[in-house]
Amino acid sequence: MAYDADTTTNEIIADATAAGIDLTDRRFVITGASSGLGEESTRALAGAGARITMLARSPEKLDAAAARVREAVPDAQLDFGTVDLAEFSSIRACAAALNDAGDPIDVLINNAGVMACPQGTTADGFEMQFGTNHLGHFLLTALLFPAVQAGADPRIVNLSSGAHSISDVVLDDINFEQSEYDAWEAYGRSKTANALFSRGLAQRFGDSGLVSFSVHPGAIMTELGRHLTDELMEAMMSRAKARAESAGESSGGMHFKSVEAGAATQVWASIAAEAGDRNGSYLADCQFGEPGGNPSSTGFSDYLLDDATTDRLWTLSEELTGASFG
């Protein structure tokens, strides 16, 4: 089946079902599940019989999202947990509660994030976007990893973005102490880190059966954009145009997706994308990404393939979080 930017979660689920992929009672843990892509992924997967543990900061927003999911899927199997990915103590408490339940995790979708927010720091003193989007998920994944390893055909999906092309990770200046803070630069660094995290997971644990992908969902208007001012929006559109032109495309217009299309790639990554020799890859528009192409669609920057940076990021992340996958 040929997929593209307009493929929806319903199409992915229908094709997976037709191919004999049975999600009945498979357990998915999804961060940022109280709205947007996380909520849509929950709806789609629950509709196919999966059991979903929805994680988010706000219990009230989780309740509201669960009610919306159950309107569409009355028999949805939903569990809940609260976590603030900008606070290590909250992450540890959430992981402890999930681990105490003793259930394997078949798929972990690290979907939550912040985008282009004003300069700030996490509770543990890290730049907010790198600290939340990467370090928070790195710690959560490490703490849940034994449960993931116990899952059937385990997968870990990390939400990256075409905005990774704004910047490689700058491991010697993660807190912008040596450079002026730029909201998009910080976001780009964090999204590169998300992609390299999947690459690192695949390199370290692929031989034991783990599959990990990073995903560019595309441009979707969700709560993620709550910090976007007119100035930041203009900067985003300008960068997208420049990326398209550098990839040899005449139009720099961004293709905005529905939430159903935006969540399709992470659903595909979590249930149907065949890793083969491409474990750890970057996916977009329900396809494997293309190095050097337009990152607003399926292209990605060459530094997502840098093994030395992948290793340095992994080591630094272990040091900063105190986490270990050993």
Residues labelled catalytic: 160, 187, 191
**Measured on CA atoms in the order 205, 206, 208, 212, is the torsion positive or negative?**
positive
CA-only gyration radius of the chain, Å: 18
Q: What is the rounded end-to-end Cα distance, in angstroms, of the chain?
A: 38
Residue count of the chain, please give it: 326
Sequence-separated (6 or more) residues with CB below 8 Å from residue 257: 5, 6, 217, 218, 219, 220
As given in the structure block, the two tokens for residue 281 are 């890859």
Segments of the chain assigned E as strands = 27-31, 51-56, 77-82, 107-110, 155-159, 211-216, 282-284, 287-288, 290-291, 299-300
Residue 170, number of CB atoms within 10 A of its CB: 16
The structure tokens listed for 117 are 């927010």
Distance of CA 260 to the CA centre of its chain: 16
Using alpha carbons, list the distances in angstroms from residue 46 to 27, 79, 135, 209: 10, 11, 28, 24
Q: Which helix (H) or strand (E) holds 78?
A: strand 77-82
For tokens 């979590």, name the residue.
270
The rounded distance, in Å, linking the Cα atoms of 35 and 56 is 9
Q: Are 9 and 44 in contact (CB under 8 A)?
A: yes
Task: Copy the structure tokens of residue 9.
Answer: 């979660």
